[in-house]
Amino acid sequence: MKANFKRVINSEIPVLVDFYADWCAPCKMLAPILKEVKDEMGEKVRIVKIDVDKNEKLARRYLVKGVPTMMLFKDGKQLWRQSGLLQKPDIIKAIKSHH
């Protein structure tokens, strides 16, 4: 997963990574919000979901202490990070501010 993840975040298109867990209630609430973000932004953003229980090393590497944690990458660089549940306008604003 690590090499593949590096390839994914090394994109000219912003990549929003959602570190989540199946047992996390706020993560379940975030899933439809992220779908709305994708529907609105289309090809301007790529959204990737990472299950922290199945990708523990990756979660540790990015110091994910709580879920959901979202990170925005572009060209392999982390541009933004936020833990907790955010609403669609806040997520879109964060993505657009780093476009």
CA dihedral 86, 22, 73, 30 (to 10 degrees): -20
Residues 27, 30, 33, 95: which is the catalytic one?
Answer: 27
CA-CA distance, 34 to 49, in Å (whole number)? 10
Q: Is 14 a catalytic residue?
A: no
Number of H helices, E strands in the chain: 4, 4
Residues 8, 11, 24, 88: which is the catalytic one?
Answer: 24
Q: Is 66 a catalytic residue?
A: no
Q: Which residues are catalytic?
A: 24, 27
